Amino acid sequence: MTKILPTLSRRTTLLAGLSLAFGARVFAQSAGPQRAPENEAYWARLGVSLRGKTALVTGSTDGLGKEVARQLGALGAFVIVHGRNAGRGEEVVRAIRAAGHGDAAFHRADFASLAGVAAFAEEILETYDRLDLLVNNAAAVSGAERQTSADGHELAFAVNYLSHFLLTYRLLPLLEASAPARIVNVSSLGQTPIDFADVMLERGYNPGDAYRRSKLAQIMFTIDLAAELDPAHVTVNSLHFARSMNTARVINGGFQPLSTVEEGAEATMQLAVSPALAARTGLYFNGLNEARANAQAYDVEARAKLRALSVELTGLELRG
């Protein structure tokens, strides 16, 4: 998964990120035994084809997003590759094209700016006439010192949650017009309840809590949006994909990987393309298995507070 990182030492940021999943195990069911990684060949054997389909994967120039983009392309999709680094983005595009199954194009956007997200959404709407799959994957891991987005919001909350809240609603008309479509929110096993008296952690900043709260917000958003949409047209599901994958950032930081990018992609691809999940919506998965998230995700009042705050901060005008 592409990480949008503040300017801190690599090891400091990694320590914050790698500790995230361990603090919230009590809030989610165990994923249980994991199958061997299944790539695009598995879905092809099941008759899954994405030819003629368009998929957008945010944060797809590295890590999990890059592998998911590659697998979607291998199934024949046109993949909209997103990130901040044009060089890495074009590399992903070339790799998808070279495989000879799908096609791709890179679009740059900084998700630490709501104006940047809105402009990105407008660019997608103007460029493409369909969108069958949206994978909200881009993420920031906050460092030891609290940092803010271009709009003054705590960085992890802004990038991991608010940006995708805004992007999803802006792209919803195109997703609905392409029905049946899917939205996959890449969340985390690490989840901490949101303190609505200090959402932006101005009084008691902790990098782990910042990340975990943003990821729980994604799950709360998933449940609300799923209830709003007709599952025959658009489904919305979220997942914790894997723990500490074997990315260059983890390995170069001197940490022992606990899973592989392929395992994370397998779990994400299940929500993206599995026929078994057609019309199933509002769910949270721990890896390959349906699970329960933090209790706050199922608190109607808490979700209403988050929704109202999100509308206010993004300036969205939601349909009635």
- Provide the annotated active-site residues: 211
Give the residues across from 80 on adjacent strands: 56, 105
Instruction: Supply the DSSP symbol for 297.
Output: G
Please calculate the CA angle 63-102-270 and round it to the nearest 5 degrees. 55
Kindly provide the residue ranges of all beta strands, DSSP E only, lying in the chain, ordered along the sequence. 54-57, 78-83, 103-108, 133-136, 181-186, 234-240, 284-286, 289-290
- Alpha-carbon distance of 300 to 223, in angstroms, equals 10
**Which residue, chain included where needed, has tokens 């890495």?**
88
- Alpha-carbon distance of 180 to 76, in angstroms, equals 17
- Alpha-carbon distance of 16 to 206, in angstroms, equals 9
Is there a contact between 229 and 40 (Cβ–Cβ < 8 Å)?
A: no
Query: What is the Cβ-side half-sphere exposure of residue 44, based on CA atoms within 13 angstroms?
Result: 12
Is there a contact between 54 and 128 (Cβ–Cβ < 8 Å)?
A: yes
Q: How far is CA 316 from each of CA 158, 219, 221, 277, rounded to the nearest angstrom?
A: 15, 19, 14, 30
Is there a contact between 125 and 169 (Cβ–Cβ < 8 Å)?
A: no
Q: Residue 299: which residues within 8 A CB-CB, separation 6 or more?
A: none
- Alpha-carbon distance of 269 to 278, in angstroms, equals 13
**Which residue, chain included where needed, has tokens 């929704």?**
307
